């Protein structure tokens, strides 16, 4: 009896102890996708405290284990609950992922400003799970007068934060933050730095709300196949503008998410306008403006010449002149690459576009068009004369119009090659073994291009190659500019450096001379329609990485590891990611040496799930430390996408990179087992008694691609750069920049597999 009583007392004490334990702690079951970082954020405690109460997780999390979470620390660190507004008619609303203040205000029929007034917690930004007090639609509660804090706030910079994100968070301008913190101009933004935050300016804070109140926004609903980049291109917005208006988009898109698009960028189909009265003399004005004698004489009444204006598109021309894109391209083959402002095109006199009834549109009823005769040779020749800047020729040459598009392949093409040889004599020395630096790069590139020229000459191309030493001097180019213009080049390759090649492109623009920038990464093609940039930029690499994340790593946890100077590269990738159901599984970390030493990266790894780390950095110490730390995390499934510089770090063994399944976007890749590569190396050795460098391969590739395009297409070369063509060491996928000029978007995808560098197939 006594034993039974003691046993019951013992059980009671255990129950009381368990109750006391549960009163102080809560239990968290580790599930797939959890990390120390995500758990610490969920319960508002530090990772150090989490490990203190659960020492077994210092070596990593394990699925289905229970963790103790101290309630006392949770309450101490928890953000203060938002003050509830008391008043009749208020609604309590929980924010969902992907929502914006605008969409919530629209749903409840109130203004964004009213929601802000009654929810002071919005000063830290809108977050999923936040509870908002929505005022009644009919009446807005009176604003409570508060004492204004005249002192500036301070903010401790956290990993992943940028000046842009802080400006959004505090509703201030980036310039305002820099003004209060002059040290940012010299040192940049660093993790742990304490900076001053100015008082929000009303014009910045309420800019979006005011525009929304004026119905200045069009709502775009995100579709499955869309990315932030494709949406920005669709509406001709910069990514910065898209993110400024839609801050949540920067963290990843979700299918069905509503984005605000400025009203002036809305699709034309959604804007109802009164059609402008179309004058019968419109076409006559176009003809009269160019003194077209054939039109004045009443000839060619079925066609007229039209000068392309800024903002014109195939759609607008179809709406105005009732002519399809196919008809226009048939009459003007040169516009297959796009319309060019200030160029003349031939348009048929089809009359005003017929108003089609809505029922006919519904059933796709075809409208009949009366076939008309082809335009006269006089009209076509007149157009070519105007577009090439030549004199007006009233007599028609005795050739058919189609012949003007045929290229005379027996013509001798004059090409300028401009490189910084920095030589004293007029003769270029072809043996590069005794020279270094820029001279060696120039000579190797020249040797490779010369081999391409020899190859094409054997195939029948007549080439007059004029080689110039730029001496890497802009002043020297300016002195020689008149001589260059008088040469009447068909094409120019070089110079190497961006300021020099931009000057040459500007100087030869009026002569429509294509200028090829072979090596520079920083050359600006905007506003230079005759300039072609061969070296792919960050956007091309970002597209390759995004394609991998959208296909091979669609369900992986994604971690961006980068130095603060590489934020733009990260944005290029993020903007191209397809909507992900698990967008919260994308982390953005600005890494420093201190963070690597604290092993923060390990705390963010998800056990039982694939983790992919994208590295943006060229710093050798940073890369070496980061890869070494990742290698030690053997219990996690980790893949790495990083720069090709990783292969050049001697302290990183190939075995490290192989186990991390390293993948790399790269502009250059040479397959030494390719028969064409073997043949090139053999010929190069025989000709120059030396081994071809990477720049020799690039010279050969640039020569073979562009000289052959010139030979086969003549003055229409720029309209035939739409193919994707891998070469020996590089490749070309030339695209037209929206602001003018052309850039190369070709990138290889390489990787370390089975301890060997291989070319991977892009999906």
For the domain made up of 208-269, give the CATH fold.
Answer: Membrane-bound Lytic Murein Transglycosylase D; Chain A (3.10.350)
Higher pLDDT, 61 or 164: 61
Domain 412-536+674-748 in CATH 3.40.50.2300: yes
Nearest-angstrom CA–CA distance, 528 and 307: 20
pLDDT recorded at residue 86: 43
Neighbours of 649 (CB within 10 A): 15
Helices (H), 465-528: 474-486, 498-507
Helices (H), 78-206: 101-108, 112-117, 163-170, 174-180, 183-187, 202-205
What long-range pairs does 190-193 form, CB within 8 A, spacing at least 24? 190/157, 190/564, 190/592, 191/157, 191/158, 191/159, 191/161, 191/590, 191/592, 191/594, 191/595, 192/156, 192/157, 192/594, 193/156, 193/157
User: Which H or E run contains 344?
Assistant: strand 344-348
CB contact set of 578 (below 8 Å; sequence gap of 6+): 224, 225, 226, 227, 253, 550, 554
pLDDT recorded at residue 527: 87
Higher pLDDT, 209 or 595: 595
- Comparing 62-71, 226-235, 373-382, 684-693, which segment has the lowest mean pLDDT? 373-382
Reported as a pLDDT band with limits 50, 70 and 90, residue 454 is very high
- Comparing 72-76, 481-485, 562-566, which segment has the lowest mean pLDDT? 72-76
- Comparing 50-59, 393-402, 464-473, 626-635, which segment has the lowest mean pLDDT? 393-402
- Residues 609, 33: contact at Cβ < 8 Å? yes
pLDDT recorded at residue 310: 65
Reported as a pLDDT band with limits 50, 70 and 90, residue 4 is very low
- For residue 176, the cross-strand partners are none
The strand order across the sheet containing 724-726 reads 462-469, 412-419, 491-493, 515-517, 531-533, 742-744, 731-736, 724-726
CB contact set of 66 (below 8 Å; sequence gap of 6+): 27, 28, 29, 30
pLDDT recorded at residue 72: 75
User: Which H or E run contains 221?
Assistant: strand 217-221
- Comparing 53-62, 70-79, 534-543, 645-654, which segment has the lowest mean pLDDT? 70-79
**Per-residue DSSP letters for 226-246?**
--HHHHHHHTT--HHHHHHH-
Higher pLDDT, 649 or 164: 649
Nearest-angstrom CA–CA distance, 241 and 252: 16
Predicted TM-score of the model (pTM): 0.57
pLDDT recorded at residue 599: 63
Nearest-angstrom CA–CA distance, 519 and 428: 20
Backbone angles phi, psi at 715, to 5 degrees: -70, -10
Instruction: Kindly report, residue by residue over 251-299, the tens digit of the pLDDT.
Output: 778 777 888 888 766 664 433 333 333 333 334 443 333 333 333 334 4
CATH number of 2-77: 3.10.350.10
Nearest-angstrom CA–CA distance, 668 and 542: 16
Residue whose entry in the numeric block shows the structure tokens 């030494």: 672
3: left (phi over 0), alpha (psi -120 to 50) or beta: alpha
pLDDT recorded at residue 245: 80
User: Which H or E run contains 74?
Assistant: helix 71-77
pLDDT recorded at residue 23: 61
Q: How far apart are the first and last CA of the chain?
A: 77
pLDDT recorded at residue 243: 82
In the chain, list all ranges with CATH 3.10.350.10. 2-77, 208-269, 282-405
Whole-number Cα distances in Å, 351 to 98, 170, 326, 374: 48, 56, 17, 16
If you count them, how many residues does the chain have?
763
Backbone angles phi, psi at 617, to 5 degrees: -175, 150
754: left (phi over 0), alpha (psi -120 to 50) or beta: left
Mean pLDDT across the chain = 75
CATH number of 538-666: 3.40.50.2300
What long-range pairs does 436-443 form, CB within 8 A, spacing at least 24? 438/472, 438/496, 440/693, 440/695, 441/496, 441/519, 441/695, 442/496
* Mean pLDDT, range 7-14, rounded to an integer: 40
Nearest-angstrom CA–CA distance, 5 and 343: 103
pLDDT recorded at residue 487: 92
Neighbours of 191 (CB within 10 A): 17
Instruction: Kindly report, residue by residue over 572-622, the tens digit of the pLDDT.
Output: 888 888 886 654 456 555 565 556 655 667 777 778 888 899 988 888 888
Strands (E), 254-353: 258-262, 303-307, 344-348
Tell me which residue of 568, 566, 589 sits closest to 160, measured CA to CA. 589
**Which pair of tokens denotes residue 500?**
């020099």
In the chain, list all ranges with CATH 3.40.50.2300. 412-536+674-748, 538-666
- Beta-strand pair 663-666/748-753: antiparallel
- Most confident segment among 11-20, 26-35, 503-512: 503-512
Superfamily of chain region 282-405? LysM domain (3.10.350.10)
Backbone angles phi, psi at 247, to 5 degrees: -55, -35
Nearest-angstrom CA–CA distance, 754 and 760: 13
Nearest-angstrom CA–CA distance, 463 and 448: 16
**Which pair of tokens denotes residue 562?**
């980068």
Whole-number Cα distances in Å, 115 to 88, 90, 101, 112: 15, 11, 8, 5
**Which pair of tokens denotes residue 158?**
């956290």
pLDDT recorded at residue 737: 81
**Which pair of tokens denotes residue 89?**
């008619």
Nearest-angstrom CA–CA distance, 292 and 303: 12
Nearest-angstrom CA–CA distance, 533 and 540: 12
Nearest-angstrom CA–CA distance, 329 and 346: 10
Instruction: Kindly report, residue by residue over 65-122, the tens digit of the pLDDT.
Output: 788 888 777 655 554 444 444 456 788 888 776 566 766 877 787 877 778 778 877 7
């Amino acid at each position: 009896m006594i034993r039974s009583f003691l046993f019951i007392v013992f059980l009671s004490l255990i129950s009381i102890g368990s109750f006391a334990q549960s009163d102080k702690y809560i239990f968290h079951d580790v599930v797939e996708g959890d990390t120390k970082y995500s758990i610490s954020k969920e319960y508002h405690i530090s990772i150090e405290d989490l490990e203190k109460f659960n020492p077994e997780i210092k070596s990593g999390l394990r699925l289905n284990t229970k963790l103790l979470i101290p309630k006392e620390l949770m309450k101490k660190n928890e953000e203060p609950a938002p003050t509830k507004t008391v008043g009749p008619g208020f609604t309590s609303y929980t924010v969902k992922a992907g929502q914006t203040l605008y969409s919530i205000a629209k749903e409840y029929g109130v203004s964004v400003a009213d929601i802000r007034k009654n929810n002071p917690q919005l000063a830290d930004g809108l977050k999923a799970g936040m509870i908002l007090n929505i005022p009644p639609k009919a009446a807005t509660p009176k604003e409570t007068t508060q004492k204004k804090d005249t002192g500036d706030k301070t903010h401790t910079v956290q990993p992943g934060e940028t000046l842009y994100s802080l400006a959004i968070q505090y509703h201030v301008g980036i310039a305002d933050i820099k003004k209060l913190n002059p040290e940012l101009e010299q040192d940049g933004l660093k993790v742990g730095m304490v900076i001053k935050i100015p008082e929000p300016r009303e014009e910045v804070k309420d800019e979006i709300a005011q525009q929304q109140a004026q119905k200045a926004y069009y709502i775009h609903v995100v579709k499955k196949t869309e990315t932030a980049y494709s949406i920005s291109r669709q509406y001709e917005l910069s990514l910065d503008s898209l993110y400024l208006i839609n801050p949540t988009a920067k963290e990843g898109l979700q299918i069905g998410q509503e984005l605000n698009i400025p009203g002036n960028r809305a699709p034309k189909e959604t804007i109802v306008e009164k059609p402008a009265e179309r004058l019968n003399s419109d076409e006559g004005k176009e003809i009269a403006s160019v003194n077209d004698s054939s039109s004045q004489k009443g000839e060619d009444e079925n066609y007229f010449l039209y000068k392309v204006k800024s903002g014109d598109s195939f759609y607008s021309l179809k709406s105005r002149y009732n002519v399809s894109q196919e008809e226009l391209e048939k009459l003007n083959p040169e516009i297959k690459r796009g319309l060019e402002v200030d160029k003349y095109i031939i348009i048929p006199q089809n009359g005003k576009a017929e108003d089609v009834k809505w029922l006919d549109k519904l059933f796709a009823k075809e409208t009949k068009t009366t076939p008309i005769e082809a335009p006269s040779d006089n009209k076509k020749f007149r157009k070519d004369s105007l577009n090439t800047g030549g004199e007006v020729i009233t007599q028609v040459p005795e050739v058919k119009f189609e012949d003007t598009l045929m290229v005379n392949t027996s013509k001798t093409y004059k090409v300028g090659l401009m490189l910084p040889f920095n030589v004293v004599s007029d003769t270029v020395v072809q043996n590069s073994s005794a020279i270094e630096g820029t001279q060696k790069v120039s000579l190797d590139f020249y040797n490779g291009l010369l081999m391409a020229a020899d190859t094409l000459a054997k195939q029948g191309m007549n080439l007059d190659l004029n080689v110039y030493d730029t001496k890497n001097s802009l002043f020297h180019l300016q002195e020689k500019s008149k001589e260059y213009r008088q040469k009447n080049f068909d094409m120019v390759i070089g110079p190497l450096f961006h300021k020099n090649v931009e000057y040459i492109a500007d100087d030869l623009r009026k002569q429509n001379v294509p200028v090829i920038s072979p090596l520079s990464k920083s050359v600006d093609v905007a506003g230079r329609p005759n300039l072609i940039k061969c070296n792919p930029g960050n956007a091309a690499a970002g597209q390759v990485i995004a394609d991998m994340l959208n296909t091979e790593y669609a369900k992986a946890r994604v971690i961006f590891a980068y130095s603060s100077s590489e934020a733009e590269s990260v944005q290029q990738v993020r903007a191209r990611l397809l909507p992900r159901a698990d967008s919260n599984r994308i982390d953005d970390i600005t890494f420093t040496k201190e963070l690597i030493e604290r092993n923060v990266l390990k705390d963010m790894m998800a056990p039982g799930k694939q983790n992919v780390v994208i590295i943006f950095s060229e710093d050798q110490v940073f890369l070496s430390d980061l890869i070494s730390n990742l290698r030690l995390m053997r219990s996690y499934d980790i893949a790495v996408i990083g720069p090709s510089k990783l292969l050049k770090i001697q302290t990183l063994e190939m075995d490290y990179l192989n186990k991390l399944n390293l993948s790399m976007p790269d502009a250059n890749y040479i397959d030494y087992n390719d028969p064409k590569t073997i043949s090139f190396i053999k010929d190069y050795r025989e000709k120059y008694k030396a081994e071809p460098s990477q720049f020799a391969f690039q010279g050969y590739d640039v020569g073979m691609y562009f000289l052959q395009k010139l030979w086969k297409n003549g003055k229409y070369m720029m309209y035939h750069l739409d193919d994707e063509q891998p070469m020996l060491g590089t490749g070309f996928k030339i695209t037209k920049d929206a602001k003018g000029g052309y850039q190369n978007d070709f990138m290889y995808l390489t990787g370390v597999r089975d301890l060997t560098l291989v070319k991977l197939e892009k999906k």
